[in-house]
Structure 1
Amino acid sequence: MEPELCRTMKEVRLGVDAADAALIALLARRFGYMRAAARIKQDRDAVRDEDRKQAVTDAAVEAARVQGVPADLVARLWEDLVETSIAYEDREWARIRG
C-alpha cells in the first residue's frame, strides 16, 4: 500500500516493515559488492577512497532532492552507510588475506 493510502497505524506499520525488509535485501546486495571489492583490491590502502565516498554521497543527496526526501538527512544517513561499508570491506579484506 502506498503511504498516501494509509488510514490506520497498522497499515503504516505494515508498510514500514515491508520497506525495512526491502532495505535489508538491498543492504545484503551492497555488502556483497563490498566483499567483491575486498577480494579485488590488492592494497589495503585502496579500501578507503575519500573521492569515491564523496561522489557516492553527492549522488545520494541529489537523488534525494529529486525524490523530495530531505537531502540533509540523506547526507547523514549516507555518511554512516558508506563508513559502515568501508569498515566491512576492511574487515573482509583482512579476512581474505589472513
Structure 2
Amino acid sequence: MIDPEQCETMVQVRAGVDELDEQIVALLAIRTRFMDAAARIKQHRDQVRDEPRKAAVIANACAAASREGMPPEIVGEVFETLVEASIAYEMSRFDQRELG
C-alpha cells in the first residue's frame, strides 16, 4: 500500500482504503473475541453494561485520535456505535452461556 500523500489516482486511493478496511475488520474480529471472553468471565448479567468503562473507552479513543491528528468527534461517534454494538453482542453471548 502506498502512502495517501503519494496517491495520484482514485484507483490508488480506493485500493488503500480497501486494504485498510480489511485490516480494520481483522482487528474488530479480535476485539469481538475479547467480548466473548468478557461474557465468559463476568459472573452477573448486570456487569455487562459498565457505563464508566464505556466512557473511558470512548475518551481513550478520542485522545488517540487527537494524537494522530484526526478529529476526535469522528472517532467518538464511531466508538459510541462500536461500544454499544459490543455491549449488545456481549449481552447475547452472556445470555447464551446462561441458557446453554
Question: TM (normalized to structure 1)?
Answer: 0.98
* Long gaps (5+) in structure 1: none
Show the counterpart of 1:90.
91
Q: Identity across aligned pairs (percent)? A: 50
Query: How far did 1:97 drift?
Result: 1.3
Does 2:11 align with 1:10?
A: yes
1:2-34: CA deviation from partner (whole Å, max 9, x where unpaired): 111111000001000000000000000000000
Does 2:63 align with 1:57?
A: no
Show the counterpart of 2:48.
47
* Long gaps (5+) in structure 2: none
Query: How far did 1:96 drift?
Result: 1.3
Count of matched residue pairs: 98
Question: TM (normalized to structure 2)?
Answer: 0.96
Show the counterpart of 2:26.
25
Structure 2 Cα separation of the partners of residues 85 and 2 of structure 1: 31
Q: Which runs of structure 1 show a deviation greater than 6 angstroms over 4 or more consecutive aligned residues?
A: none
